Structure 1
Amino acid sequence: MTTIRTRRGRLGIPALVALAVLAAGCGTRHVGTTAQDAGAGTPTTAATLAQGKPVDFPCPGETPTPTPTRTADPTAAPTLPPDHYAENHGFKVPLPLRGRSRCDGLAAAQRLKEALEPLRMGNDYTPESTRGRLAGLGYPAERTNVYAVSRTAVRFLVEAPGMCLTGTMIPDSTQVEAFDGYPDHRGCDEPRGGH
């Protein structure tokens, strides 16, 4: 007669040890225990983690804008059918930065504006001058794309750590926006193609 042996006893012990380590929380990061989480006068990340996404809060130097409330108008015209063009091109809409990253993006955009303002005031709209200013801020040439739109307009795109910065310098103003990539890919370049 053949006896079938089982290893139930040997295999069960390593599994129980692994389960005990996981249950103990080994390697778990506790919110608010690092120097970065504890300071800067910003809310802790507990609220962020509870909701599963970063919470926006006023950034330094920013005044909060009240969220407009919408009330239904009984005399309003019926709603229009969905805009399929916008629906089909939603992959080209940049993702916004949220939470602390949003504040970092606003600060980076302000630094770019201040660095480019002397060029705008001096009517210097060359890609070379703009690229030089961006390099002076620490953005390497291989992570920047600068091109002339016209004799008096320059567009730029910078792939910065943790964000994308895009903007235009024209005679009236320098505009810079920070964003978090695109829905279909995390790069800073606008996706091509369509759905």
Structure 2
Amino acid sequence: MTQPSAPVDSPCPGESAKPSVPSATASASSTVPPTDHYAENHGFRVPIPLHGQSRCDGLAVVSRVTKALEPLRRRGDFVPDHAHDALTGLGYSAAKVQTYEDGPTGVGFLIDLGASPWCVEGTMSRDATKADAFAGYPDGSACQPPKGGH
């Protein structure tokens, strides 16, 4: 039986070319049965990555979100409502943007875009604003991290 090939992503606009690293699922060692089933049992919690044009669109959304939050971060404004206002100011529906305290000086956020890329999540702290775009979760829970498992 032929294994499906891993998607190959070309550099997106504004991104430098970097060598493609095969994922753990595409490596030869993945044919060896795991001795610990943690990864297998928790795979439903791993976000679905974006590829091709969706990946480029996701990087563009991440850039917009980061730029919108950076002024707050530089001012040391880690009030979730202020981050929410900055994100909805980009045109995202208030009902689809969640912000919350992330430690004493940080804000976490999750945006359900409802279209590809479907989700953007990240954090803003004194050190940096970080965000990632992804295509939901394998169990179909959309942008919310799934609960449960076995």
Which among 50, 53, 64 is matched to residue 111 of structure 1?
Answer: 64
> 1:56, 1:167 → 2: CA distance?
22
Match of 2:129 in 1: 174
> 1:67, 1:53 → 2: CA distance?
10
Pair 1:92 & 2:45 matched: yes
TM-score (norm 1): 0.65
Pair 1:122 & 2:43 matched: no
Match of 1:192 in 2: 147
Larger radius of gyration: 1
Q: How does 1:70-85 map to 2 (within 5 A)?
A: 81-85=34-38
Give 4+ residue runs of structure 1 displaced > 6 Å after superposition: 51-54
Match of 1:151 in 2: 104
Match of 1:67 in 2: 20
Match of 2:89 in 1: 136
TM-score (norm 2): 0.83
Q: What is the aligned residue count?
A: 136
SS at match of 2:14: coil
Task: Write out per-residue CA displacement over residues 73-125 of structure 1, whole angstroms, 9 at most, x where no aligned residue.
Answer: xxxxxx89433111100000000011100000000001100110000000000
Q: Which runs of 5+ in 2 are unaligned?
A: 23-31
Aligned residue type for 1:183: P
How large is the Cα RMSD of the aligned pairs?
2.2
Q: Is the 8 A contact 1:165 1:176 kept in 2?
A: yes
Q: Which runs of 5+ in 1 are unaligned?
A: 1-50, 70-78
Question: How many percent of aligned residue pairs carry the same amino acid?
Answer: 50
> 2:112, 2:5 → 1: CA distance?
26
Bigger relative CO (Cα 8 Å, ≥ 6 apart): 2
Aligned residue type for 2:94: A
Change (3 A) 1:138 1:126: same
